[in-house]
Amino acid sequence: MTNTILPPPKPHADTEVDSLTGWMSHLVELRERLVKSALAVLVVFLVLLYWRNDIFTMFSKPMIDSLPEGARMISTEVTSNFFVPLKFVLWVSFVLALPVVLHQVWAFVAPGLYQHEKRLVIPIIASSYVLFLIGSTFAYLFVFPTVFKFMAALTPLGVEMATDIDNYLGFGLTMFLAFGLTFEVPVVVIVLVRLGIVTLPQLRSARPYVIVGAFIVAAVVTPPDVASQLLLAVPLVLLYEVGLFFARWVTPKEASTGLSVE
């Protein structure tokens, strides 16, 4: 009999197959999570679609109230009357469905987290969402009326103040994002201290830079008037102080960084 010499087995073949299978399962799960998130936004959008004009009217009320008597907003594009309210309703739908979207993100990443990381992530996500809503509400109730009345007062004699609804939508969404993210500052400060990236004394010593940076950000993001810049810069500085206040009770992650709160 002739002895047949078999080739040696590939030592990493099974490992590579398992790795590929693992990646594919993650991609499939990611696709399912994205589909569920998109469906949540779509359901809210379809519910609000019928009231799109009423919702946009509520959104534009601060501007309309600041216009001179008899003046109205204008639409310079043929399709703006239809698409602008639609875009805003889509934005509102995403914000309202954001808890479902964040839940899908959490369900995807949670299996790879340690137990202490899970206890940290849930309060961060919940507080971030609530603070974003508070920041957007602050912009709508206080910033919008102040800015629009200030701009109306500066309108030259003989010039009619009439804002295009598409430009107003861009301005409003920018302000919502700016103030919504500004109100996230306490969460950012607490997370930085908790992860040991910076220490509380380092954050306190950075106050002068934060104040200067707040006014620079306000000058870039807001319209070129003092009122709106102050309405963004002052809360930004105050919220930084709020973050420092609550960070005093946060224990930094000393094991991995070696940093500690003095």
Query: Can you give the pLDDT at residue 20?
Result: 57
Q: Alpha-carbon distance 173 to 260, whole Å? A: 39
Query: Can you give the pLDDT at residue 91?
Result: 95
Query: Can you give the pLDDT at residue 237?
Result: 93
Q: What is the mean pLDDT of residues 4-18?
A: 56
Mean pLDDT across the chain: 83
Query: Can you give the pLDDT at residue 262?
Result: 40
Is 238 a residue whose pLDDT tops 70?
Answer: yes
Per DSSP, helices labelled H in the chain are 13-49, 52-66, 80-109, 115-138, 144-153, 165-182, 185-194, 200-205, 207-221, 226-247, 254-257
Please name the amino acid found at residue 58. M
Largest CA distance in the chain: 110
Q: pLDDT digit string (tens) for 209-232? A: 999 999 998 888 887 778 888 888
Is 261 a residue whose pLDDT tops 70?
Answer: no
| Low-confidence winner among 18-32, 69-83, 230-244 (lowest mean pLDDT) | 18-32
174 versus 22: the higher-pLDDT residue is: 174
120 versus 172: the higher-pLDDT residue is: 172
pLDDT band of 41, cuts 50, 70, 90: very high
Query: Can you give the pLDDT at residue 137?
Result: 94
Q: Alpha-carbon distance 228 to 220, whole Å? A: 11
At 142 the three-state DSSP class reads helix
Residues 6+ apart with CB under 8 A from 257: 195, 196, 197
pLDDT band of 259, cuts 50, 70, 90: very low
Q: pLDDT digit string (tens) for 100-142? A: 988 888 888 777 777 777 777 888 888 989 999 999 999 999 9
Q: What is the mean pLDDT of residues 149-158?
A: 76
CA Rg value for the chain: 26
Render 64-114 in DSSP notation, one character per residue.
HHHSPTT---B--STTHHHHHHHHHHHHHHHHHHHHHHHHHHHHHHGGGS-
| Low-confidence winner among 18-22, 58-62, 91-95 (lowest mean pLDDT) | 18-22
Is 3 a residue whose pLDDT tops 60?
Answer: no
pLDDT band of 94, cuts 50, 70, 90: very high
164: β partners: 74
Q: Alpha-carbon distance 136 to 128, whole Å? A: 12
Q: Alpha-carbon distance 244 to 215, whole Å? A: 19
Q: What is the mean pLDDT of residues 139-153?
A: 86
| Low-confidence winner among 8-17, 48-57, 95-104, 225-234 (lowest mean pLDDT) | 8-17
